A and B are shown apart, each in its own frame.
Chain A
Amino acid sequence: MGFEKRIEKGESGLAALELMLSLPILALVFVGIAAMVTSAARNYMAQRVQAEVQQEVQQAFMRVVDDCMAATSLRSERDGQYIRLYDGDRLVKLYFVNEDSRRVRKLVENLANFPMTGNHEWAMVEVTSFGAEEVDPLSRPGLYRIWLEAKSTTAGSVPYGLATEIYLPPQGGHP
């Protein structure tokens, strides 16, 4: 027998033709799987980022609106992007957008180091628009429109914003 090898039926190796066909098919299958995994991961990240943007905007906006409604008067400065809330003549709260050392615009309460948005590393939420303005001081005094819009600094994020109107009776409701 020696090194002589008998090839029986069904025991032959891969033919060149089979290899030429199977390798591209295998490559296609792997590329397809990789594309699916990449696409799923990207979608998952995008969903999480957008969820975080929505959550931060909703929480911050609710706090701002609640505080505004608890105040007796509201003053907006710097094109409406700086909101001062008063109880009588006493300043009780201040909301504004501050750009931090990493150039991320965050909504802050009273002080620049008290951010309400953008302090989470995942989505890095950045405020794109915030403010308050009186809707119509002549015909509807005391009616203010408040808005907040933000987006993530990660690529592909869609801005998310909320807006509403609140009514603070002029002179605190006293004639």
Chain B
Amino acid sequence: MGRERGFVLLEVLAAGLALLVMAMCFHVFAGSAELREADACRVRAVFLARTQFSAAQAAANQKALLAGGYPWQGEAGDLQGGEEVYSVETDVAGAGEGSFKVVVKVAWQGRVRGELELEREVVAHGI
């Protein structure tokens, strides 16, 4: 009858602890990978927004910037980065003589999701 004993508590605890440690390691690793991916998305989003601000500044200097929606000014391929697809919405509001408030919202979807909103005053310089 001695060979028919079940698992003792210690064995179950040891196996459970090992599984818990493995799961925690995986969780930490997956979390750091996701954080890095999210950071990369934010960096790309900042550069996408810079494209819009630069184009808006160029248009303002040429007296060609109008209030309202402002389409994406960069290359279409720039809106795809890694496993994420980006969308850019830009709104231009007149804020006085030759002065505009440009708001750029960048959103991304894919393995990670997120969005970023940046705002800048654009002033037309006399050319």
Flag B47-81 by CB within 8 Å of A: 1 or 0 each: 11011001101110110000000000111001001
* 8 A-B pairs (CB sep. < 8 Å): A47-B29, A54-B40, A140-B58, A143-B55, A161-B81, A165-B51, A165-B74, A167-B58
Chain B residues closer than 8 Å to A166, beta-carbon distance: 50, 54
Chain B residues closer than 8 Å to A51, beta-carbon distance: 36
A145 part of interface (Cβ distance < 8 Å) = yes
Contacts between chains A and B (CB distance < 8 A), count: 64
**Contact size class for B?**
20 to 34
Q: State in angstroms the CA–CA spacing of A65 and B47 once bound together.
A: 10
Docked-complex contact A145 and B75, CB < 8 angstroms: yes
A118 part of interface (Cβ distance < 8 Å) = no
Known: A47-B33, A162-B47, A163-B47. A169 touches B40 (CB 8 A): no
Flag B74-91 by CB within 8 Å of A: 1 or 0 each: 110010011000000000
Chain A residues closer than 8 Å to B82, beta-carbon distance: 158, 160
Docked-complex contact B73 and A165, CB < 8 angstroms: yes
Return A17 CB to nearest CB of chain B, in Å.
18
Majority secondary structure, B binding face: helix
A164 part of interface (Cβ distance < 8 Å) = yes
List chain B positions with a Cβ less than 8 A from chain A: 2-3, 29, 33, 36, 40, 43-44, 47-48, 50-51, 54-55, 57-59, 61-62, 73-75, 78, 81-82, 125-127
Q: Which of A126-169 contact B (CB under 8 A)?
A: 140, 142-143, 145, 158, 160-167, 169
List chain A positions with a Cβ less than 8 A from chain B: 10, 44, 47, 51, 54, 58, 61, 65, 140, 142-143, 145, 158, 160-167, 169-170, 173, 175
Return B118 CB to nearest CB of chain A, in Å.
13
Chain A residues closer than 8 Å to B58, beta-carbon distance: 140, 142-143, 167
Return B10 CB to nearest CB of chain A, in Å.
22
Docked-complex contact B36 and A169, CB < 8 angstroms: no
Docked-complex contact A164 and B47, CB < 8 angstroms: yes
Using CB atoms, name the residue of chain A closest to B62: A140
Cross-interface CB contact of A165 among B54, B81, B125, cutoff 8 Å = B54
Q: State in angstroms the CA–CA spacing of A109 and B117 once bound together.
A: 32
Chain A residues closer than 8 Å to B47, beta-carbon distance: 61, 65, 162-164
Known: A162-B47, A163-B74, A163-B78. A170 touches B54 (CB 8 A): no
Docked-complex contact A162 and B54, CB < 8 angstroms: no
Chain A residues closer than 8 Å to B127, beta-carbon distance: 169-170, 173, 175
Q: State in angstroms the CA–CA spacing of A165 and B73 once bound together.
A: 9
Using CB atoms, name the residue of chain A closest to B3: A10
